[in-house]
Amino acid sequence: MDFAILGLAIVFALAAALYASVGFGGGSTYIALLALSALDYRALPIIALLCNIIVVSGGTLRFQSRGLIDWRRILPILLLSVPAAWLGGRLVVAEGSFMILLGLSLAAAAILLMIEPFIKRAGDITGNG
């Protein structure tokens, strides 16, 4: 087995465990790792989605077994998000555009995560938080 593939599998497993421990799927991390691995860009969303579904399914089963999911409240979101995801997956995007959009969206997410405490603190000071 190639050491690069083994290393990627280990990092995937660690990311999955970390995200699952706080109730998330980790899809953006999988896409970033796959993009760095020089895999065909068309396979990235498929692999990331499958990994995300596996991780989220475990959390969903645990939440459901404890009765913590209000399916009546979630159903409209599911009914809209599944077809929207399918339609988005049907879009054909060139590799260069895909990588630019991926980089910009991951950078925006990182920036928002970094500035969130400052925004929250500012809201607390002004009484709007």
Mean pLDDT of the chain: 86
Is residue 17 in a domain? yes
Question: Which tens digits make up the pLDDT trace of 68-86?
Answer: 999 999 999 989 988 998 8
**Residue 82: how many CB atoms within 10 A of its CB?**
10
Q: Which residue range is the domain that position 45 belongs to?
A: 3-69
What pLDDT is recorded for position 6?
Answer: 87
- Which region among 21-25, 51-55, 100-104, 125-129 has the lowest average model confidence (pLDDT)? 125-129
Which residues are CB-contacts of 125 (< 8 A; sequence separation ≥ 6)? none
For residue 43, is it within any domain? yes
Does the structure show a pLDDT above 70 at 1?
no
Residue 118 covered by a domain = no
Residue 75 lies in a domain: no
| Host H or E run for residue 24 | none
The total domain count for the chain is: 1
- Strands of the chain, DSSP E: none
